[in-house]
Structures are given as structure tokens and as C-alpha cells.
Amino acid sequence: MREININHLIDICAGYSGAKYYVAEMVPTKKLKNARIHFPIPANEYVIALMDTTVFGSCKRGMAIGLNGVYWRNDWTVKSHRSSLSWMEFLHARIKKISKYEMEFGRGDIYSVLGEAIKLDDLIQLLQRLQSYIGREADPSLLTGSEVSSSLLSDPGEVWMVGAAGEQYGPYSAFALKNIIEEKQLQLTETFVWKPGMAQWVPLLKNKELIPLFMPALVAPMPITVSQAPTLDLDAEVDKVLDADALLGGNESSERIDINRASMEQLLDLPAIGVVGAKRIMQERERNGGFENVEQLGQLLDLKPHHVERIRPMIIFCPLQQRTSTGRIVDY
């Protein structure tokens, strides 16, 4: 049998949606920080999906699906024997609905979706799909204790996951990542990185640990080695790269993407969107009839201000009446 694959877990989780349900790069930073404080999430756990069942969005209650198991916290009125399950424990759980808002993993392990982050029936189906995948793909000998013995976590100080163009790759050692950068296989301004122990994915150009890997390619001929601390103004150099990248893409400004009718492939061409974001855009425009401006898009996807400004000149929002009208307007 094979080891648990992080991309397969993400794909399963991304197949579901909810008002306060987030997957992979769409997990809000503030919510994740609160979840780590209030849920029993191990410090080195990577959170794949997060559900917030609080009324005001603080995420002090809810559920987190991680690389190594499931973690949750209920309202004080709901008693549960445990509040976390490793994949080995999860594999043998009898998942079932016990009331309108509550489900049980078995033996008094209760979870409540009272805040309706995701519909209870959908959540149970999601968990059963995860259970089926883990039972089918994972070697039980790898699921001992509370952690998966995966190559991703075998050397937390040296391995990195890479996110680019809506896809995830890795794990890579720092040496392998250096070779990939030197061979120009990555578009640095659109690449994010993560390793076990980090709370969230961060832009490659903002990760100080990896400065010695990519800075020589940006600021040649000044050599920088791993043992040499950079003396450059990193923010200034990154801004230069972003400005240069924007100039290179200036010729495509006339070919803007209409967010209200773009295909999945077109949405994935936009920076900071990703697969999960593209799916949420398509679901939201089908539900509400489309977007009016980039601010609405940024709010839906919880985009950072610089991401909003980056995609602003690349997109348009055609009104529904303009797209659905028939005939022509003749100018006399």
C-alpha cells in the first residue's frame, strides 16, 4: 500500500463547500491561528481544511482536517469523549448522524455543526470519503501513534512543499529546490512554499530561509551563499521583481478575463486564485448571478490587498444584461 498523499486529501476536501468552510490556501490566517489556540492541533500539523462553527467568525470552535488526523472543538453544551483522532483511530471510527446538528465518530466522540459551517450530511459524506481513501491507500503500519510516517515529515527542517499555478509539488530538499530555481522551472513571483511547522503558505520571495536559493538569480552578479547573511533590502528587491514582471505582462492587458463567464482554465491563469478559489468563484457566480467588481472577488477569496491590485488590470466584470441580451444596438 502507498503512503497518504496530501494532494489527494486536498482534492477530496475541495469537493465540498460551506459558508465558513475553507480548504488549502483558502484557509484564512486569523482563523487558523485561533483554531491552533483552541483546537488540539499539534504544532507541526499542516491543516488541509478548516470549519468555523462560531457565530461571529472567530473560529474558536469547529473542525480541522490535517495531514495526520482530525481535530475539533464544540460549544460548551456539547460533551465529547475526545476532540481529536489520528488517522489510525479515524480509520476504525463508525461515523454516523445522531441528531439534526450532531454526528458521532463512535464511543461518545461527538462533533456539532451548530454554526453550519458545512451541512452535516455533506460533512459526514466528506469524512466517509476520507475514511475510504485512507483505508484503501495507506499502509496501516504507517499509521501508528498520532502522526503519519510520511516522507513529507521525515526531516521537517529540510523538506519543502511548493505551490504554483494552483498545483502543489514536493516534498523537496533545499538542495533540490535550489536546482529547480536555477533551472528556471518556477515563476518566482507566483510561487508559494510551506514546510511542516509553518502556520501557512508564504510567497517564495518573502521566505527569508530561502533567500540564499533565489536571490542570486534576482540580483546577479552579487553572490550570496547559505552561510552569508544578505545585506540587501529584501522588500525593495522583491518590489523590483514584481514591477519588472508587471511590465513584461503589459502587452496582454487588452486580453482581460471576464470573471462572470470565465472557464476553470481561464480562472487558473490568474495569480492567487488556485483550484479551490476558481471553484468558489464558479459556485458563487452561479448562486448570485456574478460579480460587479474586484473588491467583491477579493472578499470572497479573502485575498491580500496586493493580490487584489495585481489582478485588477487583468479582469473585467460584464453585466448580466449585457451578456444575455439578444440582437444589436444600432447607433444612428
Listing DSSP states for 203-236 in one string gives: EGGG-GGGHHHHHHHHSTTS---TTS---S-HHH
Residue 34, pLDDT above cutoff 80:
yes
| Percent of the chain scoring above 70 in pLDDT | 71
1-21 tens-digit pLDDT: 356 778 888 889 999 988 889
Cβ atoms 124, 103 nearer than 8 A = yes
Confidence (pLDDT) at 223: 35
Neighbouring-strand partners of residue 163: 168, 192
Stretch 78-94: mean pLDDT: 88
Confidence (pLDDT) at 206: 79
Confidence (pLDDT) at 237: 45
Confidence (pLDDT) at 63: 94
Q: Which of 152-166, 216-230, 278-292, 299-313 has the lowest average pLDDT?
A: 216-230
Stretch 58-81: mean pLDDT: 91
Stretch 38-56: mean pLDDT: 88
Confidence (pLDDT) at 185: 67
- Binned at pLDDT 50, 70 and 90, residue 52 comes out as very high
Confidence (pLDDT) at 92: 84
Residue 112, pLDDT above cutoff 80:
yes
Confidence (pLDDT) at 146: 37
114-162 tens-digit pLDDT: 877 788 999 999 999 998 888 876 655 544 443 333 333 333 345 778 8
- 3-class secondary structure, 100: coil
HSE-CB of 231 using CA atoms within 13 angstroms: 3
Chain centre to alpha carbon of residue 132 = 23
Cβ atoms 63, 47 nearer than 8 A = no
Confidence (pLDDT) at 238: 47
Residue 124 or residue 44, greater confidence: 124
Residue 324, pLDDT above cutoff 50:
no
Q: Which of 43-47, 95-99, 192-196, 325-329 has the lowest average pLDDT?
A: 325-329
What's the whole-model pTM score? Answer: 0.47
Which domains does the chain carry?
6-142 (no CATH), 159-248 (3.30.1490), 257-324 (1.10.150.320)
Stretch 17-36: mean pLDDT: 89
240-260 tens-digit pLDDT: 444 444 443 444 444 788 999
Residue 38, pLDDT above cutoff 50:
yes
Q: What is the mean pLDDT of the chain?
A: 75
Cβ neighbours of 267 (radius 10 Å): 21
- Binned at pLDDT 50, 70 and 90, residue 320 comes out as low
Cβ atoms 308, 295 nearer than 8 A = yes
